[in-house]
Chain A
């Protein structure tokens, strides 16, 4: 069953069409990668699904409710979490607080000003558990803005997955990482998305083919192919539009 359905989604900025009618079904539990050349609209598509941008036309359905007109926080509460390409954390708070904040809503604290955080044993344990998963336990009380880059990326992932959302969207989780760091982050992605649905934008093809069950290729605002990694690898038009370009430039 599809957990997320995009139906002819379009986005224009002024006269310029960035997304030109994308239709896509994401199955529950699948790991889906979106690839495509720079400027194809991958990040824009993420922003549309997560509610940061409003669609110009078309509809997006998540778990049977239409979300294209909802605010990001409403979509997030439905169980859709995302990370950002440029690290987007709460810089002046420490690592533990970053994760704990990401847990509040799903744990039902809402806008509470009557729960004292020191006494919420289960919440605090859960936050420590997430820190363990992303390997930042020993940095718990460290100011997040002063972490090393790779650690900030891990925290970025941690904030996205902490709430236990069913659908996780990762925007270039390995951007700017060295080879060994990227390796670690693949393991991390496997670990934290176990049993969940994943949509991922990534340029590093090793990661894409390592993680994804299915791949969609986005070129100039249109999905030109959606298929298994093997078929995408051998798809001639994809080769031409994207992989060939990467292979020659790499």
Chain B
């Protein structure tokens, strides 16, 4: 029964990924799906380090980028017929080199977790990012290097000219990578990674070298980051130094954290949300990075377990069937909260916009008019007041929905 349920989740995951382009078939949406696919594998691999192994890395892009560079180099080799195989296997090339890089760096960086590990990862990340600008022959300097995926032998007639064809390649690899990363958590090595995260000292007294346990997780994370890098190379057909520098390392940390570190699906949620925000919001506002920063800080402050954690918080109420009691209080606080957020954004955009009018979710606002400022301001403050008023009620509803009525002690 449990097994059947689990299997159906996996099949659902695969089916959703496969049919997505049938419903959203524009070039833009396919390109967003491709980005999501890459981000999902990358963020899941990051969670192997931080969420499951307790290793905070500021340099995970190294394995992503290194795998990606080798993948592009392989594309070039295919183009010049140095090697001959289907580009379907390019992500695997990325994975192998991500793994090799992780074996090398992990051999000295996994000695300790905590701050020491974080600092080594930062140092190595900066070192390699800076070196990549020096070794122009391999990394191509600021311009990066590019290949062409269409030169490889066709795969059953598919020549990979269109992005949607790459999307199906990506789905194949994302599914495989997700399955294997999940299975890893169900093995002794994966469980011991949790144990070492919780208590490295005790792990040593049940026969395990904490360092070796970390090393194994680290290598696995490198492998999957490399696969993500290979997918990146296949999708964009070029790669620059940016893929292995601190910006990319930071972004994957953001994704995993916003999604929720403690849950396997957390990074998937985070990857989807951030990719969507990145692609959609950046069209509407050049301030989206500012909003992203605010959202990230608010998540760290108020949802330490991320979005997935927020969803899982409702498990008790769901099981007990009291979740219905929460609907109205959520609505009463949520709607004004949304209004507060929107008016804040409107004010920020009004102060930033250079044109005379600002089109904002169907309203036309004129930054030159004091009345518009006042109007938005009043809506914002009014809603803030409503949030403060309704918050205690939400809190009470939450408590009553989640408290198990006492059945004589416990």
Q: Given A104-B207, A113-B184, A117-B187, A92 and B216 touching (CB < 8 A)?
A: no
Is A73 within 8 A of B204, CB to CB? yes
Q: Given A113-B216, A117-B188, A72 and B204 touching (CB < 8 A)?
A: yes
Is B202 within 8 A of A89, CB to CB? yes
CB-CB under 8 A from A17, the residues of chain B are none
CB-CB under 8 A from A88, the residues of chain B are 199, 201-202
The reply to whether the CB of B322 lies closer than 8 angstroms to some CB of chain A is: no
The reply to whether the CB of A191 lies closer than 8 angstroms to some CB of chain B is: no
Is B213 within 8 A of A111, CB to CB? yes
Of the four ranges (under 10, 10 to 19, 20 to 34, 35 or more), the interface on chain A belongs to: 35 or more
**Chain B residue with the shortest CB-CB distance to A77:** B207
> Which B172-203 residues have C-beta < 8 A from chain A?
183-184, 186-192, 194-195, 197-199, 201-203
**Chain A residue with the shortest CB-CB distance to B215:** A111
Total cross-chain contacts (CB, 8 A): 97
> Which A60-76 residues have C-beta < 8 A from chain B?
71-73, 76
Q: Given A88-B201, A89-B199, A97 and B189 touching (CB < 8 A)?
A: no
Instruction: Name A's interface SS.
Output: loop
CB-CB under 8 A from A115, the residues of chain B are 187-188
**Chain B residue with the shortest CB-CB distance to A81:** B205
Is A113 within 8 A of B187, CB to CB? yes
Is B187 within 8 A of A91, CB to CB? no
The reply to whether the CB of B220 lies closer than 8 angstroms to some CB of chain A is: yes
CB-CB under 8 A from A159, the residues of chain B are 202, 206
The reply to whether the CB of B150 lies closer than 8 angstroms to some CB of chain A is: no
Is A76 within 8 A of B220, CB to CB? no
CB-CB under 8 A from B201, the residues of chain A are 52, 88
**Chain A residue with the shortest CB-CB distance to B209:** A73
Q: Which listed residue (A73, A93, A100, A112) contacts B205, Cβ 8 A?
A: A73
Is B202 within 8 A of A105, CB to CB? no
Q: Which listed residue (A71, A90, A102, A106) contacts B198, Cβ 8 A?
A: A90
- Residue-wise, chain A 131-165 has the 8 Å CB interface mask toward B (1 for contact) of 00000000000000000000000000001001100
**Chain B residue with the shortest CB-CB distance to A82:** B205
Is B205 within 8 A of A104, CB to CB? no
The reply to whether the CB of A2 lies closer than 8 angstroms to some CB of chain B is: no
Determine the distance from Cα of A89 to Cα of B198 in the docked complex, in whole angstroms: 8
Q: List 21 A-B contacts (CB under 8 A).
A: A52-B201, A72-B204, A73-B204, A73-B205, A73-B207, A73-B209, A89-B199, A90-B195, A90-B202, A90-B203, A92-B194, A101-B195, A101-B203, A104-B192, A104-B207, A105-B207, A111-B192, A113-B187, A113-B189, A114-B187, A116-B186
Top 5 A-B pairs ranked by shortest CB distance?
A: A105-B207, A113-B189, A72-B204, A90-B198, A109-B188
